[in-house]
Structure formats: structure tokens, C-alpha cells
Structure 1
Amino acid sequence: MTDLTEATLLRLFIGESDEHDGRPLHEAIVLKARAFGLAGATVLRGAAGYGRSSRLHTTKILRLSDDMPLVIELIDVGDRIEAFLAETNAMLGSCLVTLETVKVARYGHDGGLT
């Protein structure tokens, strides 16, 4: 059996057109996560979605949106994710933020996040 490490998965749901200090918000968050030393970050672009406004964002022909939904997933141990979230709170505006406890089966050659 593989040793499992407990970690926290932080998900941020934002729009592609969201910005922070003149740069795309997703880029600012990923660069901040890297500087913070988090274990990993991934930005996923959605094909369709809506948020609090209920305005549909889609890639359908004749209605190409310039504000597609993005999900940013960041992972590390719980304390580091919570510290990162506290430090970036002002950047996040009205985005949806979720936290989830996950089990990491493998991360790099040694398998752990520590």
C-alpha cells in the first residue's frame, strides 16, 4: 500500500477577464503561489459556466465569450494553504473559494508534500 499524505486542495473559481494590478488574476495567483512555495497550482479553463450573476459564459459559435470560467487549483498542507489564502484575500474579490481535504498518493519521486 502506498503511503498517503493528507493535504488541502484550494479551488478558486474566477472569470478569465478578472484582473489584479493590471495583470490577469489567474496569472497573479499562480505567480504568488509559486513565490509562496506552495506544492502545486493548475489553472483550468471551462467550456461553459455561470456564477452569482447567473450570466452564462460559453464558447458556443456566434457567442464567443471573452470571460470564460477559470478554476485555479492549489495544493499543499493545510497550514500553508490557509496562510496563502489569508495573504491573498484582498486579491480574490468576489470569487468562489472552496477548501477540500485530500489524500496525496504521489508527489514527485518521494511521494510526499513535506
Structure 2
Amino acid sequence: MEREPAPIPTSLGYEFAREEEARAAASDLDKRFTETELTGLRIFRVRWNGNYLVEAAFSDGTPKSRLEDARALLGESGTPVHPDDLTDYKKATQKGTGLPNWLRRFFN
């Protein structure tokens, strides 16, 4: 019995060592996909290792073949990020960079 491949998430994340590579990949995606297909595109820096992450969000109606095209394009110079790790990266970037409140109160 053959197993079906896992579904491709509609949000892809790829990590890049250099900002220029991340920006170039994001620019290529923006040029090759319509606004209907590519619903969101974000580049952010991963604080703990200095790399850059490109997150591309696609509409539910985007054909699987187009998602594979996006993976191939991002994979030319980037490393795929597991969906759970992408969620963790996003949470980490939303948190403040300062001291936790309890520690800040300790120093006041």
C-alpha cells in the first residue's frame, strides 16, 4: 500500500545565510506569482543565529505544482524550515527584545 505524500503547507519558510540571498529569493517569488496566489511575503532576521528567513504565504486555491515551483525557487539558495520551526521563529520575533517584566522590576 503506497502512502500519499504529506500535504504541502500553504505557508513556506526558507532560511538564508545572507540578507541579499533572502531578498533576491523574495523578489523572484513576487515576480513569478500573482497576488491571488502569493498572499503574503515576509523577510525577517533570526536573532539567535543572524540568518534571514523568507516566509511565503499562498492562497488555498494555489495549485500544488505552483507550490512546488516556489519550493524549488526558494531551495536554490535557501534551506527549508519545518512548519513547526517557522511558527517558533515567528513567535520569537513578536516578543520584545528587552528583559522580562519580572526581571525588569527586580532592577528598578
- Greater strand share, 1 or 2? 1
- TM-score of the aligned structures, taking structure 1 as reference length: 0.48
Query: Which structure is higher in helix share?
Result: 2
Q: Compare relative contact order (CA 8 Å, sep 6+) and give the higher one, 1 or 2.
A: 1
The structure with the largest alpha-carbon Rg is 2
